[in-house]
Structure 1
């Protein structure tokens, strides 16, 4: 990589892309060959003359798909429901507080006002970082990385979680970053290569083939590169049938639902009904209110009691418990994996779905453990059963969460950007499973995605949110 170049790294395997970026970050063991970071030579020499501890990594910023935001005590002990409890928002920094804490080893072009303007997050400055949508969190991560004024900026799937409008603006954002003197290495999908990219590296079987952007775009056949896997649909149906699915007239009925935080309306007079067997797509820009709407349905938002909401034929606030709701809902989210305790193995995460807890804290029967292994085998990952959940790949985590959601045979499956960041092969297998599950006449589905090509064909209904209201 020479001065002035910006690279995209593409691969059918996200593990290879992650390994490539982590090698540059110094997080892997290099058994042979050598690494040289010439861009840091002057900085390191000047730092040593001042007797200052230094590393080339002082000049490198990285935005991954796993966010590591901490609370005011510098701990990462957030829990999923915390964002919906306004009384607990004080435990986390606001967006402004978080950005003001970022330190840079060198002076540069990027300061607070410039990153806020570039990422269009001025309206978020007073918000708790706990309450940000997935796309808003990604913009915050990019903003905080820029404040370090790096010379080299690494990004892993940078458009993940961004709505269509922000994705359309993203080339302009990257152009301003590059024009400020920062060089980019972006791990991305072949059809999402930004315009500022000058060169492409193709990773396959541990080997890197390099070419300029034009040669790559002229030679690469995306359909040829993809491999479509299939799984045992009969086995999937049998696993779902282990537990009977309860029948309802309405899974969801909302009447004039309004949710307010700090005098700001997140949802406004919303009406929605879901009948058994219906599959819906839920769309909307980042911050439109999708996460808040889902939180009302999965029983996590206390403002449900202040609204006219019926879940599974029972009005909220009539004596039902949160566990009555949760046992009917399977939930898979791109960010859910962050909230499991670090001592949980993959099979424990799957088994926790039987008890609707963020981790397994009860003794299970041999039959239940066998059932969990059957789900892992269905998705071709039985070998990870004993591995810690937070140490396996993103794709593996997502399949574990799908197994966790389905092990209790829910009447409603909620998928909130569930394929976000997955590689092409694993995403196709995941969506194939979702599509088949959606054909079950007793299972309803809510599917959230910013990408039209990800929406399963079994989804025949649509709701679109715009600033908290149903659009169209």
Structure 2
């Protein structure tokens, strides 16, 4: 056995996350770790890698090393800090403070590098990324970089926290093929994933039960027996929150006329023409690096290149005297990285309340009526038990759900939801889709919803825009 885990128990604060967990693995096994949000998937990976204190036994075959690739990677800039601000990737001057791929992994690109390093570089196609800034890498490109970095130390066991999250279909296929190849050469792979999205490469599934325990099953057995429980929506509470939702007098939420965005030699968006009318619900899709995040940044007032283009938001042209706050007050926004920008002193309740003021953190007093509104949204999303907990201490899926509550709390005319279900378990995702569909069925809510999975789209979505290499290739 390359790995034996016996009576593994891990606590986070006073909360027992894993309790007396037992399993063993052979060399070359590919194991998916599943379970509801908070069941300990990330905790297990961090305990195995030595990042968390635990009780019990983790026994490795002699000489075997482990490498962990976290779901969210925070890299350092040229000033050797990791204090990037949210809009920095869209600001050409400040983005130059980020390292290039070559500077991040010089050993892989050295002229005298050995054959193993060359094979890693070739396997993940890093030669095409040589001079790219880390801040400008897509999710798929960044994942390839982090995997290459982890393999440089020749581990025998590779630990991956939600490696497929945020990847488009093609990138998921490439990643899965790469991992199968590595396993065929003897690498043991453990990775966390959504319970309903266990990829074909998985030979075994370690199903955590949310009560501290888990069971190791053949993947075929797990797939045959898995059933999702659909949570009940508190329709009465939602009805209380809906009156006055999305009231506004605009005709066009977004209008773009021949929009182009370039960073240095790279043309990110090319000749974009797009209109989003009041009450329309759009999906925005495309492969990693297609320009989706850049397009959204023009809408959310986070990209200064909006001023160099003909863009109208809520019937008003950008650059006609409006402030960014005039725009942001009309938008409820969430992205996969947004939680990383909140201070570690932010509670769940304060994080949601910050959505009332469009700030990354709460910096002003909240009235009693506003506090009640926050409390109601937390209750609707089954988050009220975490109200006074620190955001960063919550499971990642719970953090993402908190930010979805933040996007909804002020009842904005336009929702811009960038991969909103990323990191949520199946029950949380189903609950949020039900809430979105209910809001859209009772109001004139306007929405832009980004996802790589068509099954993630709410039923309310009826319009679709697809990008590829910065161009519109489908508009229906």
User: Is the TM value for this pair above 0.5?
Assistant: yes
> What CA distance in whole angstroms lies between the structure 2 residues aligned with 1:80 and 1:70?
14
> What CA distance in whole angstroms lies between the structure 2 residues aligned with 1:436 and 1:109?
57
Give CA-to-partner distance per residue, 1:81-124, whole Å, 9 cap, x none: 1111101012211222222379xxxx99742x433432234333
Structure 1 residues 457 and 110, CA, compared in 2 at 3 Å: closer, same or farther?
Answer: farther
RMSD over aligned Cα atoms = 2.3
Higher strand share: 2
* Deviation (angstroms), 1:165: 1.1
Q: Please state whether the residue corresponding to 2:59 is helix, strand or coil.
A: coil
- Counterpart among 69, 79, 82 of residue 73 in structure 1: 79
- Counterpart among 206, 222, 225 of residue 221 in structure 1: 225
> What CA distance in whole angstroms lies between the structure 2 residues aligned with 1:365 and 1:274?
34
Alignment partner of 1:36 is 2:59? yes
> What CA distance in whole angstroms lies between the structure 2 residues aligned with 1:297 and 1:327?
12
> What CA distance in whole angstroms lies between the structure 2 residues aligned with 1:108 and 1:146?
14
Q: Please state whether the residue corresponding to 2:415 is helix, strand or coil.
A: strand
Alignment partner of 1:3 is 2:18? no
* Deviation (angstroms), 1:241: 3.3
Query: Given the two structures, how large is their TM-score scaled by the length of structure 1?
Result: 0.88
> What CA distance in whole angstroms lies between the structure 2 residues aligned with 1:345 and 1:202?
30
Contact 1:328–1:412 (Cα < 8 Å) also in 2 = yes
> What CA distance in whole angstroms lies between the structure 2 residues aligned with 1:392 and 1:176?
35
* Deviation (angstroms), 1:470: 0.6
Give CA-to-partner distance per residue, 1:230-282, whole Å, 9 cap, x none: 22234224324367622211000001001011032111111000001100000
> What CA distance in whole angstroms lies between the structure 2 residues aligned with 1:331 and 1:440?
20
* Deviation (angstroms), 1:440: 4.1
Structure 1 residues 216 and 261, CA, compared in 2 at 3 Å: closer, same or farther?
Answer: same
Q: Which residue does the alignment assign to 1:130? A: 135
Q: Which residue does the alignment assign to 2:178? A: 173
Structure 1 residues 286 and 121, CA, compared in 2 at 3 Å: closer, same or farther?
Answer: farther
Q: Which residue does the alignment assign to 1:46? A: none
* Deviation (angstroms), 1:444: 0.6
> What CA distance in whole angstroms lies between the structure 1 residues aligned with 2:107 and 2:411?
45
Contact 1:276–1:441 (Cα < 8 Å) also in 2 = no
Contact 2:28–2:184 (Cα < 8 Å) also in 1 = no
Contact 2:285–2:466 (Cα < 8 Å) also in 1 = yes
* Deviation (angstroms), 1:364: 2.0
* Deviation (angstroms), 1:151: 1.2
Structure 1 residues 351 and 73, CA, compared in 2 at 3 Å: closer, same or farther?
Answer: same
Q: Which residue does the alignment assign to 2:42? A: 18
Structure 1 residues 426 and 93, CA, compared in 2 at 3 Å: closer, same or farther?
Answer: same
> What CA distance in whole angstroms lies between the structure 1 residues aligned with 2:408 and 2:33?
34
Q: Which residue does the alignment assign to 2:370? A: 368
> What CA distance in whole angstroms lies between the structure 1 residues aligned with 2:133 and 2:363?
30
Q: For structure 1, which segment, 160-169 or 233-242, has the greater mean C-alpha deviation from structure 2 after superposition?
A: 233-242
Q: Please state whether the residue corresponding to 1:413 is helix, strand or coil.
A: strand
Q: Please state whether the residue corresponding to 1:377 is helix, strand or coil.
A: helix
Q: For structure 1, which segment, 90-99 or 296-305, has the greater mean C-alpha deviation from structure 2 after superposition?
A: 90-99
Q: Which residue does the alignment assign to 2:395? A: 393
- Counterpart among 83, 96, 101 of residue 90 in structure 1: 96
Query: Given the two structures, how large is their TM-score scaled by the length of structure 2?
Result: 0.88
Q: Which runs of 5+ in 1 are unaligned?
A: 44-58
Q: For structure 1, which segment, 428-437 or 441-450, has the greater mean C-alpha deviation from structure 2 after superposition?
A: 428-437
Contact 1:258–1:267 (Cα < 8 Å) also in 2 = yes
Q: Which residue does the alignment assign to 2:421? A: 419
Q: Which residue does the alignment assign to 2:7? A: none
Q: For structure 1, which segment, 448-457 or 243-252, has the greater mean C-alpha deviation from structure 2 after superposition?
A: 243-252
Structure 1 residues 34 and 271, CA, compared in 2 at 3 Å: closer, same or farther?
Answer: same
Alignment partner of 1:143 is 2:148? yes
* Deviation (angstroms), 1:14: 5.0
* Deviation (angstroms), 1:29: 4.1
* Deviation (angstroms), 1:125: 2.7
- Counterpart among 405, 408, 432 of residue 406 in structure 1: 408
List aligned pairs for 1:12-411, cutoff 5 A.
12-13=36-37, 15-31=39-55, 33-38=56-61, 41-42=62-63, 59-100=65-106, 110-111=116-117, 113-204=118-209, 205-217=211-223, 220-222=224-226, 224=227, 226-241=228-243, 245-411=247-413
Write out the 4+ residue segments of structure 1 that deviate beyond 4 Å after TM superposition: 107-110
Q: Which runs of 5+ in 2 are unaligned?
A: 1-24
* Deviation (angstroms), 1:283: 0.7
Contact 1:241–1:409 (Cα < 8 Å) also in 2 = no
Structure 1 residues 196 and 249, CA, compared in 2 at 3 Å: closer, same or farther?
Answer: closer
Contact 1:299–1:322 (Cα < 8 Å) also in 2 = yes
* Deviation (angstroms), 1:359: 0.8
Q: Which residue does the alignment assign to 1:435? A: 437
* Deviation (angstroms), 1:430: 1.8
* Deviation (angstroms), 1:395: 1.9
